Amino acid sequence: MNKIPNRKAICDTLMEHAKTDKNIVALCSDSRGSASMTPFFDEYPEQSVEVGIAEQNLVSISAGMAHVGKKPYCFSPACFISTRSYEQAKVDVAYSNTNVKLIGISGGISYGELGMSHHSAQDIAAMSAIPNMRVYLPSDRFQTKKLIEALLKDEKPAYVRVGRNPVEDIYSEDNIPFEMDKATVFKYGEDNKKKVVIVACGEMVSEANKVAKELSEKGIAVTVLDMYCLKPFDSNTLVREIQDVDVVISIEEHAPFGGLGANVASVVSANKPCQVVQMALPDDHVITGKSKEVFNYYKLNAEGIVENVWKKDIL
Amino acid sequence: MEKSRRKELETLSLDLRKDVVDMIMKSGGGHIGGDFSVMETLVTLYFEQMNISPEKKDDPNRDYFILSKGHSVESYYAVLAKKGFFPREEVINTFSKFGSKFIGHPNNELDGIEMNSGSLGHGLPVSVGIALGCKKDGRKNRTYVVMGDGELAEGSVWEGFMAAGHYKLNNLCAVVDRNKLQISGTTEEVMTHENLHEQVESFGWNVIEANGNSIEEMNNAFEEAKKVTDKPTCIIANTIKGFGGGEVMENKASWHHHVPNEEEYKMIMKAIDERKEAISNE
């Protein structure tokens, strides 16, 4: 099992590039430890800014720095950066079109034990609703590195959510089929007659891949889409992959509104209607527990996907 | 400042108020009271203090300006048009009209406008980022931000004060347009700032008080601020809301967002002309 969380992959990637690009700056709201950004702050103090526990200030200062040519990476727990400083993200980043990359760490229910105040099950919906804001949920450390490298090359606003814990590797050093704003496609049992598409993002991609092989051996062709790009949403790949499928399953660490599932349902219904099963966190206070325990409770896991496929009685 | 220069800028401030009134009359809306209180601050900055012009709009060493009290955009547009950033007639004729780029709050798609504003409490933190970024690059320029006094109730303003003091941003100068009125009444009734000077000072700032409707006093305050080497400066610009428009609109909260009728329009124009004549006869 991989021990490197995606947040650490962000720090490593930024450190690698900050050596030569002195305009890269990291800003934290007393969150450098949680963000795994302590090594960056230690090695590049001149490219680091601490703003204290003040997320609104964090985002506005980042926007100001971007306006004078800096490339700010702005770190705070996803629950705070996505909603406490929502207006700053809307006005100072998206509306003013500043090159700020908002990094929501410990996203979703990473802080499962800490209560709803520390959960970010609304961030995809909130951030996606802002014009000129892009939204990304990378699945593993390799994809996270590729994503950050791509973001370093552009000058547009973006929100990236990563979880707190290490995620199982999906890709490898030698095999990272990454294309910016395009879902990555995995295919299992292509010759089988019954067909299922599973669309996942973030930590849920590894769960989808786990079951895909098992289902393919039982006669179901499974396509998994790693839809790390929530906005712009890769509708083209989804539409291409849903031809002749029996059921589409979406699975996400997010509330059932305005996230991956809502996007999937909207694209599927407009293009090639078929049954869509949406797997998400409930519209309720999430039960207390470690994130794995919480995922298991709501069956946001491999087992839950299999159950849903069986329920649809497509065999 | 030479007397002739002072008189020239005072007269300009009054002429630009006429442009503001024209914009508001043509569009049928605008924040006239705050436009009039802040005019001398803008004119002193743009025509005497700041290193900025249409040719330098992308120069990294230009001085930066953020209008945090974005609702005073009419006076800002009037000043920028006079400075040559866009045609005066275009802004007067299209302000707030359907499809216009001259939106009712600053729009950074227009030349000369650095950042969008309108939601109060954003300008100071954004300016902290600008000043901090420039300082890290060793640039010798300055960053100016103008806030309203009603705006100071926004908590994010104080996050900005805190960070600027912490980082000793002596290249940052904030102006509070202290006209003591906001839409619901006096600032002291709505949310008091009786000890504003001490409050800001306690955040590690140099604080200067000046008559914000005096070109000379504002210019002196900006000069004094430049000499400070270890902290940011906040100028509390004591102003009169509606200043220059005469008795009909001066010091009246109801003129925060009021469109003059024909009779009021004439009274305002007459008051402006009388003041201009007094300056000319000085």
Domain tally for chain B? 1
The model's pTM: 0.96
From the list B126, B137, B166, which residue is nearest A92 (CB)? B126
From the list B60, B132, B156, which residue is nearest A65 (CB)? B132
- Sorted by where each begins, the domain ranges of chain A are 6-161, 184-311
Q: How far apart are alpha carbons A173 and A184 in whole angstroms? A: 16
Domain harbouring B99, CATH code: 3.40.50.970
Contact assessment for residue A183 and residue A207, using Cβ atoms and an 8 Å cutoff: no
pLDDT band at A311 (very low <50, low <70, confident <90, very high): confident
Q: Which domain holds residue B159?
A: 3-280
Query: What is the DSSP secondary-structure string of A137-187?
Result: ---SHHHHHHHHHHHHT--S-EEEE--SSB---SSBTTB---BTTB-EEEE
Cβ neighbours of A66 in B, within 8 Å: 129
Put simply, whether B70 touches A (Cβ < 8 Å) is: no
User: What integer pLDDT is reported at residue A310 of this predicted model?
Assistant: 83
Q: How far apart are alpha carbons B126 and A66 in whole angstroms? A: 10
Q: What ipTM was predicted for this assembly?
A: 0.96
User: What integer pLDDT is reported at residue A312 of this predicted model?
Assistant: 72
From the list A46, A57, A92, which residue is nearest B159 (CB)? A57
Q: How many CB atoms lie within 10 A of CB B81?
A: 21
Q: Do domains A6-161 and A184-311 have the same CATH topology?
A: yes
**pLDDT > 60? residue A26:** yes
Contact criterion met (CB < 8 Å) for B156 and A66:
no
Contact criterion met (CB < 8 Å) for B126 and A70:
no
CATH of domain A6-161: 3.40.50.970
Q: Read off the pLDDT of residues B207-266 as tens digits, 9 standing for 90 and up.
A: 999 999 999 999 999 999 999 999 999 999 999 999 999 999 999 888 888 999 999 999
Q: Read off the pLDDT of residues B54-105 as tens digits, 9 standing for 90 and up.
A: 999 999 999 999 999 999 999 999 999 999 999 999 999 999 999 999 999 9
Residue given tokens 């760490």 in the structure block: A105
For residue B24, give the nearest of B83, B92, B87, B105 by alpha carbon: B92
Contact criterion met (CB < 8 Å) for A62 and B129:
yes
Q: CA A113, A116, A121 angle in degrees (round to 5)? A: 105
Residues of A with a Cβ under 8 Å from any B Cβ are 25, 46, 49, 51-52, 54, 56-57, 60-70, 72, 87-88, 91-92, 95-98
Cβ neighbours of B115 in A, within 8 Å: 63-64, 67, 92, 96, 98
Contact assessment for residue A267 and residue A233, using Cβ atoms and an 8 Å cutoff: yes
Put simply, whether B125 touches A (Cβ < 8 Å) is: yes
CATH of domain A184-311: 3.40.50.920
Q: Read off the pLDDT of residues A41-92 as tens digits, 9 standing for 90 and up.
A: 999 999 999 999 999 999 999 999 999 999 999 999 999 999 999 999 999 9
Q: Read off the pLDDT of residues A89-137 as tens digits, 9 standing for 90 and up.
A: 999 999 999 999 999 999 999 999 999 999 999 999 999 999 999 999 9
Minimal-distance CA residue of chain B relative to A51 = B163
User: What integer pLDDT is reported at residue A232 of this predicted model?
Assistant: 98
Q: Give me the phi and psi of B131, to 5 degrees please.
A: -65, -40
Helix, strand, or coil (residue A275): strand
